[in-house]
Structure 1
Amino acid sequence: MSSEQKIEFYKGPAGGWGALRSVTNALLRQDIPIKGAKTLLSANQPDGFDCPGCAWPDRNHASTFEFCENGVKAVAAEATARRAGPELFAKHTVAELAEQSDFWLEDQGRLTHPMAYDAASDKYVPIEWDDAFARIARHLNALPDPDQAIFYTSGRASNEAAFLYQLFVREYGTNNFPDCSNMCHEPSGSGMRPQIGVGKGTVTLDDFEKADAIFIFGQNPGTNHPRMLGELRAASKRGARIVSFNPLRERGLERFADPQDKLEMATLGSTPISTHYFQLRVGGDFSAIKGMMKHVIEREDEAVARGEPSVLDHEFIAEHTTGFEALAADLRAEPWDVLVRESGLSEEQIRAAADVYLGAKSVIACWGMGITQHQHSVATIQMIGNLLMMRGNMGREGAGACPVRGHSNVQGDRTMGIWEKPPAALLDRLQKVFGFEPPRRNGVDTVEAIQSMLDGKGRVFFALGGNFAAATPDTYQTWKALKQCELTVHVTTKLNRSHVIHGREALILPCLGRTEIDMQAGGQQGVTVEDSMSMVHISMGINPPASEHLLSEPAIVARLAAATIGARSSTPWLWLVEDYARIRDKIEAVFDDFKDFNARVAHPGGFRLRNTASERVWNTASKKAVFFTHAVPLDTPSHRARARFAKKGDTIVFTLLTTRSHDQYNTTIYGMDDRYRGVFGQRRVVFINKEDIRALGMKDGDWVDIQTVWNDGQERRADRFKLVAYDIPRGNIAAYYPETNPLVPLSAVAENAGTPTSKSIPVVLVPHELPIQKLAEDEADGMVAAA
C-alpha cells in the first residue's frame, strides 16, 4: 500500500511486473511470505482449495498453476498471521471501532472466538458456541411470524453450506433470502430465463478458443477478474476481434502482460487486448446494442434487395426462436439520432462495431455490473441476447452469452436454492425428500429486506458471510434498519463494518476460511463450488485453522438448525456435517443435475452442470428462444434530473457510476492504491472529464461534495472528494464504493430485478468548504465512515 497520496498516470500494461510486485507486497504485508507462497501453490489445484476471489473458471483445474494478483490478495488476507481476538475487543468499545476505516477493521486479522455484544460496556465479549446458538434460537422461536427473520447469504458460501442454509431457513418457515446476487447479477437471470430458459452463461472456456469476436460490455476484467485476461490475450494473439464498451479507459482492456510468460516479462512486452474500444456514456449500452442490431437489419435488407446471401441465420431464427419479426420492425423504425444521442457514440462507431459482429462466424458477448446495475438492465441483457441470436450465436461452439459473476460461488448459491423467489419444483422436491411443507410465499430481496427492517417487520438479521452494511445502497437508511433489529448475527472470518452497525443484541461467529483444513467426525472435508461457467469442483483447505475455536460454515448452519428447529425437524443436522458427502447425497436427491455428485466431483476438475440453452433446448414458456422488443429508455432518473435543472444554466447534472479500485474486492479494501488508474494512497476521488472540470469553474485536484438529485425529499450526500481529470465522456463521473453508497437511493432499482442502480445515479458537484489541511488529515486516515 502506498503511503504517499498522489495522482500519477500509469504507463504500463495490466499484469506484468507491477502485478508481481503487488503479489510480493500482499504476502509481506500479512506477515506470511513463505506460508503464503506455499498456500498459493495449492490454489485452484485438484488436491487444494478453490480461490476465494472471483468466479472466473480455470483453464484446466486438474493441472494448471493459476492464480492472479487479486486472488493472491484474497488468499493472503485469509491466511494472514494477524489475529483479532478477545483482547482487541477488550481494548476498544464498538463506538471506537466504528470510527475506524473499513481498511483498518479488516486489517486487524482473523477473528478467533465467537463474540457477543454487551450493551453495558459497549464492547464485544467472548461467548461459548452453545450459548450463541441458544441465543439465536431463542430470538427466532420468539418471533410470531418467521417472515420477521431475514437470512442474508454471501457468494463465498460453499454449495454444502448454502444447501443446508436454505433447507434450515425453509424448515424454519420463510423464503427471506436476500443475497449478493440481488445486488449484482440478478438482472442477468431475470433477463435470460424468459429469453433462453436458463439464468446462467452458455459458454465454456473452450468456446473462447473458437470465438472469432468477443464483445465486452460494462466490465473491467483487469481489476475484477484478472484471470480472464489470459483468455482475452490468447484470443487476441490468434486474431480474434475484441470489442470493448466502457465509459472509462481501463488498462486491462487495452494491454496485458502475462506474468507467467517469461519472454513477455523479460522483454517488457505486452499484448494488445481490444481491437475496438468504444467509450459510450454511462447507461448507453442499450442504445449502442440496438444500433448494432439496426445496422444488421439494414445490411440484411440491402442483401435481400440485391439478391445477395443473407446476413441473418434464418434457419436458426425459424427453428429456434419467436418474436423476430416484431423486433425487426422496431429496429427499422428506430431513428439513428436517438441511438446516437443516448449511446454517446457516433453512428459510424456503432456501425463499425456491428461490422465486426457481421464479420465473425462465432461471437461471445460478456458483461458485468456495468450492465446489470441500471434501471433498464434486464432489457439491456435481453438486447444482448437478441444480438447474439440474430446470427445464431447461441448454443454452438465459440459463441454464446457470458455474464461474468463476482464472488467465487455466487452462482452455486443460487443453484442450491438461495433465492427469495423459489420455483415450485424446488419446493416440491424439498417436501418430498425432507418431509416438510416449505413456505410458498416469496421472500424479500436485499432492498426489500432493508425496507422490512426499516418498517419494523424485519426483527432478526442473520448473515452467512458478506458485509451487508457496506455493500448495500442508501447507507444511512441501511444502518438505521440494522440498528432497529432485535438481533444481528454475522458469520465471518474478519472484522468489518457490519459488525459495528448492529442490533440491540449482536453476535459475531468466526468461521473457517477456504484455505483452512476442515476436520469433522468423518475426517478432513472438502466443499464444492460452481464457477461462472457451471463447472463444479471440490475445494480442500491446506492451512491449520486460524484458531481452535473456529467452526466451518456447514457446521454453524447445522448446529443452529439443531438448536432452533431440531425438536420438530426430521433432518439429521449434526449427522449430515460429520461427513459432507452426506450433504452432497441430499443435494443429489433434490437436484437432478447433481446425479452421482460424490463420484463426479471426485474426478480432477469436477464436472459441468447441464446447460440446456447451450444444447439449443429452450426451457421457456414457448419452448423457443425469444426475441424481445424494447424501446430506448428516455425517462431515466438522469433524464428527469437534467430536465429539472435545464433552466439552471450554471448547474450540471452528472451521471455517477460507482466502481472498485484495484486494491479492492467488493467491499474488502486491501490497500489505498488504484494502480491502473494512477491513484495512490487515497480513495475519495472523482474521475471526471477535464472539460467538465473547466465548466464547473474548478481545476484538477479541487475538492467537492457529491449530492444526489432524487425526488423523495431526502438529502443524500458524500463529502470531501478530489477531482481527478480522467478519460471519461462528458457528463459522466466515477467514484469508488462503498464511499459513494450513501448516494444510491433504496428506490433506485432495476426494473424486474430489484438490483440497486449503482452505475447510474444523477448527482451534482458542489465545492467543499473544509480547509485543505483538514482534508489532507482526513484522507490520511483512509475512508472513515462514522456509525
Structure 2
Amino acid sequence: MSEQKIELYDGPAGGWGALRSVGQALLRQDIAIKGAKTLLSANQPDGFDCPGCAWPDRNHASTFEFCENGAKAVAAEATARRVTREFFAQHRVAELALQSDFALEDHGRLTEPMVYDASTDHYRPISWDDAFGLIARHLNALPDPNQAAFYTSGRASNEAAFLYQLFVRQYGTNNFPDCSNMCHEPSGTGMRESIGVGKGTVTLDDFTQADAIFIFGQNPGTNHPRMLGELRQAAKRGARIVSINPMRERGLERFADPQDKLEMATLRDTPISSHYFQLRIGGDFAFVKGMMKALVEWDDQGRPVLDHAFIAEHTMGFDALLQDLRAESWELLERESGLSAEQIRSAADVYAKAGSTIACWGMGITQHQNSVATIQMIVNLLLMRGNIGRPGAGPCPVRGHSNVQGDRTMGIWELPPQSLLQSLERVFGFTPPQKPGLDTVSTIRAMLDGKVKVFIALGGNFAAATPDTVQTWKALRQCDLTVHVTTKLNRSHIVHGRDALILPCLGRTEMDMQVGGLQGVTVEDSMSMVHISMGINAPAAPQLLSEPAIVARMAAATLGARSNTPWRWLVEDYRRIRDKIAEVFVDFADFNARVSVPGGFRLRNTASERVWATKPGKAVFKTHAVPVDTPLHLARQRKGDAKVFALMTTRSHDQYNTTIYGNDDRYRGVFGQRRVVFANEQDIRELGMKAGDWIDFVTVWEDGDERRAEGFKLVAYNIPRGCVGAYYPETNPLVPLESVAIDAGTPTSKCIPVLMLPHKAAAC
C-alpha cells in the first residue's frame, strides 16, 4: 500500500496515471495476464457488461471500452484470491469486525454458502438446499409477509431483478428497499411530476450535438470516467461545458484520453470545463433559480431567450413560475448559492446563447432535503428554452451502479404502479399485494421497531451504504435472519442477524452455464439502452450459483405449492425469463430478438418524443421557494454560522460506492489514507488549527442522539468557506435517519450540519 502523504496532483485526469493504476490493480489481484484478457471483453458485443457504473457504451468495436475504475471492478471480481471454509474456520466474526472495509473485500471471492454459528462466532458451510430451507422456515413462520424486507443492489441483472420482485410479490409484500432509495430516487420523483418519465431523455448521440453541457454535483473523473470521453469530444468541437460543484475536481478540469495515442505520446490533455462555478454545498437550487430569473429579465427587456412557442404548446404552470421569478430577491439567491449575481448571470448567458443544452447531475444534487425541488428547477430551466425532446438537449441524471435503472424498470420499487401489478396478475395468475412497501430508511426504522424480522439482500453492502450507522447496525442485529447474496465478503456479513446466511454468486465476468447452455443476462444503462452481457471466465468456485438461480430456488423453497410459477424451468434458459418480461412490459416486446442485436435496443422515452405522460398531458413547470429552513439553516441558527460546517460525503478515486480498492485518492492528492477532511484553508486557520491537525465530527441535530465520527486529518483544499468534504462510509454515522429528501426519502448525505472539534485523542 502507498505511504501516507498529502501531495498536490497537478496532472490531468486519465492519462498515464490511469494506465499505471489499471496495471497495479491487475497485479494486486494476481491476474496480470488473465485480467488483461478479461478487460478486452468488457463492454464488447460478445463480452460482459462492466460491473461498475451505468454510463453507456458507444464503440463496441473499440480495442478497449473500459475506464480505470471499471478495470478495478473487473480485477476485483476476477481476482485469484479465495475465501474458503478454512478461512472462516480460522477467523471469528468478532475478529473480522476489526478489519477495515478494504481488508474484508480484499480477501477475495467467496466459494460456498455459509451459515452463522452463534455458539462459536464462526461462519460454517451449509448446503444450498439447507440454506434455502432455512430461509423458507423463517419467511413462512412470519405472521405477516410485511415483516420481511428484500433489498436489491444496482448490479443485479434484469433477469435476477424480475424474478426477485415476482417472488417477493407472490410471497405477499412490496417491501423493496433498494440502492435507488439512497441515490437517484429524487430524480425519478421530480421528473415524473414534471415531464412524465423518471429517466433521462438523452442519448450519447445528443452529446455530439449539444452546444452546452451543464454538470451539476457530479465528479465524472472518479465516478463515471468513460463520460470524460464524451465531454472531451464536446469540448474539442467547441461546446461550452459548465461545471457546478463545491469542490474543484480534476476530471472536470483536464483530461488525457488513454485511447488517444497523440495525447499519450506528447503528454498533452484537453481542457474540459469552459466555466466552473464553486457554489456552496446546497446552493444549486438558488443557482438554477437565479439563472431562470436572469432569463426572464432579459426576455422582459427585449432579448428573446425564452421559447414561447414551445412553452405555449407543450407546458403548463409557466405564468405562476414567471410571477415567482420576477418577485425573487437577488440578495437571497446570492446568499444561498454563495455566488454573485454576476456569476449566476454569466452562467445564464452561456445557456441563453446555446442552441441545445444538456443538463447532467449526480448525487451532489439528489442527496439533499430539497433535492426533488432542485431537480424540478433544472427541468424548468430546460423547458424554458425548449431543451427537451430535440437533438442535443435534455435532462441526464447519471446513475451509479450498472443496472440500477434496469432494476427499477423490472419492478424493484416499493411504490409499484397499478399497471405493473395488473400485468403480473394477468401473466402469472396471482393477486399482488396492493399496500405500498418500505424504502431503505423506513426499512431500517421498521427493523429497529421490531416490525421487520427478516432481511434479504440481493447484492450490495447494506451495513456500509446506509446512513446513521449506529442505528442501522443495531437494526440489522435485531433481525431473526439476515441473508446476503454476494461475490465477496463485506461489512454486512459481519453485522448480521441472529441467524445469518452468506450466499455466494457468479460475477458478471463469469460464464453462467445452465441446463439450456451458456446464459447471458441483460442490463439497462443510464440512457435506457438494454443490452446483453456474457461472462467469459470460469466460475471462481464450482459451488457458485447465478443470481437468477439463487432467487428461483429461494422462491421455490419458500412458496412451494402456493406458486404456479415454474421457477426451476425458468432458470434453465434465461430466454424464458425474458419472454415473461416481454409479457409483463409492453416496451420489452420481442425482447430476445431485439437484445440479440449488437448494442441492444433503447426503451421508449415519451418525453424525448414530446409526449408528456403527466396527469395534465403536458410538461409541468413547478414553482418552489428558495429553501431557508433546511437542517443546515436550523443548525446555524442554534450554533452560529462560524461553528457549523456543511459536510458532503464523497468517494475517493480508489473506491466505487462502498467498495474500497485502495487507500489513494490520486486526483485530490491523498495517498495511503482515508480519514481526511477537505476544508478551506481560511476556515482551518479560524479553527485555530493547521493542515495536518486532527478533528472529530459531531452532527448538529436536535433529537438528543450524539452522532460522532472521530479522527480525521485536515487537508487544505479548494472548497468554499463553511463547506467540508470527507469520504463515506467513514462519515455515514453522521447522517441522521430522519434527515431525508422531501417526497423521496433519500438520506441527505451531501449536506450534513457538523461541528469540527479538536480530536479527543490529540487533546489527551
TM-score calculated relative to the size of structure 1: 0.96
- The alignment status of 1:766 with 2:757, answered yes or no, reads yes
For each residue in 1:633-653, what CA deviation from the matched residue of structure 2 results, as whole angstroms up to 9, or x when unmatched?
Answer: 00011111111013xx8x610
Name the counterpart of 1:683: 674
Instruction: Give the deviation of 1:37 after TM superposition.
Output: 0.3
- The alignment status of 1:524 with 2:518, answered yes or no, reads yes
Instruction: Give the deviation of 1:566 after TM superposition.
Output: 2.3
Name the counterpart of 2:421: 427
Q: Distance in 1 between matches of 2:674 and 2:741?
A: 27
Instruction: Give the deviation of 1:295 after TM superposition.
Output: 0.3
Name the counterpart of 2:644: 653
Q: 1:663 aligns with which of 645, 649, 654?
A: 654
Name the counterpart of 1:778: none
Q: Distance in 2 between matches of 1:538 and 1:62?
A: 16
Q: Distance in 2 between matches of 1:770 and 1:179?
A: 38
Q: Distance in 1 between matches of 2:104 and 2:639?
A: 41
Instruction: Give the deviation of 1:422 after TM superposition.
Output: 0.2
Q: Distance in 2 between matches of 1:748 and 1:167?
A: 32
Instruction: List aligned pairs for 1:572-611, cutoff 5 A.
Output: 572-611=566-605
% identical equivalent positions: 79
Q: 2:547 aligns with which of 550, 553, 562?
A: 553
Instruction: Give the deviation of 1:390 after TM superposition.
Output: 0.3
For each residue in 1:77-107, what CA deviation from the matched residue of structure 2 results, as whole angstroms up to 9, or x when unmatched?
Answer: 0000000111110000000000100000000
Q: Distance in 1 between matches of 2:335 and 2:409?
A: 40
Name the counterpart of 2:743: 752
Residue-pair matches, total: 764
Name the counterpart of 1:396: 390
**Matching residue's letter, 1:85:** T
Instruction: Give the deviation of 1:64 after TM superposition.
Output: 6.0
Name the counterpart of 1:779: none
Name the counterpart of 2:229: 230
Q: 1:715 aligns with which of 706, 714, 732?
A: 706
Q: Does the aligned pair in 2 maintain the 1:62–1:605 contact within 8 Å?
A: no
Name the counterpart of 2:461: 467
**Matching residue's letter, 1:662:** H
Instruction: List aligned pairs for 1:81-230, cutoff 5 A.
Output: 81-230=80-229
Q: Distance in 2 between matches of 1:165 and 1:370?
A: 30
- The alignment status of 1:368 with 2:362, answered yes or no, reads yes
- The alignment status of 1:50 with 2:41, answered yes or no, reads no
Instruction: List aligned pairs for 1:273-672, cutoff 5 A.
Output: 273-303=272-302, 310-646=304-640, 652-672=643-663
Instruction: Give the deviation of 1:22 after TM superposition.
Output: 0.2
For each residue in 1:683-730, what CA deviation from the matched residue of structure 2 results, as whole angstroms up to 9, or x when unmatched?
Answer: 000000000001101111100100000010000000000000000000
Q: Does the aligned pair in 2 maintain the 1:60–1:605 contact within 8 Å?
A: no
Q: Distance in 2 between matches of 1:704 and 1:302?
A: 52
Instruction: Give the deviation of 1:63 after TM superposition.
Output: 5.4
Q: 1:728 aligns with which of 715, 719, 736?
A: 719
SS in structure 1 of the partner of residue 301 of structure 2 = helix
Instruction: Give the deviation of 1:400 after TM superposition.
Output: 0.2
Name the counterpart of 1:696: 687
Q: Distance in 2 between matches of 1:87 and 1:237?
A: 55
**Matching residue's letter, 1:295:** A
For each residue in 1:469-500, what CA deviation from the matched residue of structure 2 results, as whole angstroms up to 9, or x when unmatched?
Answer: 00000001000000000000000000000000
For each residue in 1:92-149, what CA deviation from the matched residue of structure 2 results, as whole angstroms up to 9, or x when unmatched?
Answer: 0000000100000000000001000000000000000000000000000000000000
For structure 1, the 5+ residue unaligned runs are 775-787
For each residue in 1:371-426, what CA deviation from the matched residue of structure 2 results, as whole angstroms up to 9, or x when unmatched?
Answer: 00000000000000000010000010000000000000000000000000000110
Q: Does the aligned pair in 1 maintain the 2:694–2:762 contact within 8 Å?
A: no
Q: Distance in 1 between matches of 2:85 and 2:99?
A: 18
Q: Distance in 1 between matches of 2:89 and 2:668?
A: 40
Q: Does the aligned pair in 1 maintain the 2:40–2:63 contact within 8 Å?
A: no
Instruction: Give the deviation of 1:629 after TM superposition.
Output: 0.3
Q: Distance in 2 between matches of 1:157 and 1:147?
A: 23
Q: Does the aligned pair in 1 maintain the 2:59–2:65 contact within 8 Å?
A: no
**Matching residue's letter, 1:546:** A
Q: Distance in 2 between matches of 1:665 and 1:756?
A: 18
For each residue in 1:335-358, what CA deviation from the matched residue of structure 2 results, as whole angstroms up to 9, or x when unmatched?
Answer: 100000000011111000000000
SS in structure 1 of the partner of residue 761 of structure 2 = coil
Q: Distance in 2 between matches of 1:346 and 1:256?
A: 29
For each residue in 1:639-679, what CA deviation from the matched residue of structure 2 results, as whole angstroms up to 9, or x when unmatched?
Answer: 11111013xx8x61000000000000000000000000000
For each residue in 1:539-564, what CA deviation from the matched residue of structure 2 results, as whole angstroms up to 9, or x when unmatched?
Answer: 00000000000000000000000000
Instruction: Give the deviation of 1:18 after TM superposition.
Output: 0.4
Q: Distance in 1 between matches of 2:210 and 2:541?
A: 47
Q: Distance in 1 between matches of 2:533 and 2:702?
A: 48
Q: Distance in 2 between matches of 1:603 and 1:704?
A: 55
For structure 2, the 5+ residue unaligned runs are none
Q: Does the aligned pair in 2 maintain the 1:656–1:760 contact within 8 Å?
A: yes
Q: Distance in 2 between matches of 1:642 and 1:271?
A: 41
**Matching residue's letter, 1:49:** F
SS in structure 1 of the partner of residue 255 of structure 2 = strand
Q: Does the aligned pair in 1 maintain the 2:647–2:754 contact within 8 Å?
A: yes
Q: Distance in 1 between matches of 2:170 and 2:150?
A: 13
Name the counterpart of 1:780: none
Q: Distance in 1 between matches of 2:306 and 2:711?
A: 52
SS in structure 2 of the partner of residue 479 of structure 1 = helix
Q: Distance in 1 between matches of 2:59 and 2:447?
A: 45
SS in structure 2 of the partner of residue 210 of structure 1 = coil
Instruction: Give the deviation of 1:62 after TM superposition.
Output: 5.8
SS in structure 1 of the partner of residue 697 of structure 2 = strand
For each residue in 1:503-526, what CA deviation from the matched residue of structure 2 results, as whole angstroms up to 9, or x when unmatched?
Answer: 000000000000000000000000
Q: Distance in 2 between matches of 1:127 and 1:398?
A: 54
Name the counterpart of 1:783: none
Q: Distance in 1 between matches of 2:64 and 2:635?
A: 50
Q: Distance in 2 between matches of 1:93 and 1:514?
A: 30
Q: Distance in 2 between matches of 1:252 and 1:771?
A: 35
Instruction: Give the deviation of 1:770 after TM superposition.
Output: 1.6
Q: Does the aligned pair in 1 maintain the 2:203–2:527 contact within 8 Å?
A: yes
SS in structure 2 of the partner of residue 519 of structure 1 = strand
Q: Does the aligned pair in 2 maintain the 1:45–1:64 contact within 8 Å?
A: no
Q: Residue 611 and residue 97 in structure 1: after superposition, are their counterparts in 2 closer, same or farther (change >3 A)?
A: same
**Matching residue's letter, 1:732:** C
Q: Does the aligned pair in 2 maintain the 1:46–1:63 contact within 8 Å?
A: no
Q: Distance in 2 between matches of 1:290 and 1:47?
A: 46
Instruction: Give the deviation of 1:29 after TM superposition.
Output: 0.3
For each residue in 1:173-224, what CA deviation from the matched residue of structure 2 results, as whole angstroms up to 9, or x when unmatched?
Answer: 0000000000000000000001000000000000000000000000000000
For each residue in 1:307-352, what CA deviation from the matched residue of structure 2 results, as whole angstroms up to 9, or x when unmatched?
Answer: x6x2111111001000001101100000100000000011111000
Q: Distance in 2 between matches of 1:348 and 1:18?
A: 37
SS in structure 2 of the partner of residue 381 of structure 1 = helix
SS in structure 1 of the partner of residue 242 of structure 2 = strand
**Matching residue's letter, 1:765:** M
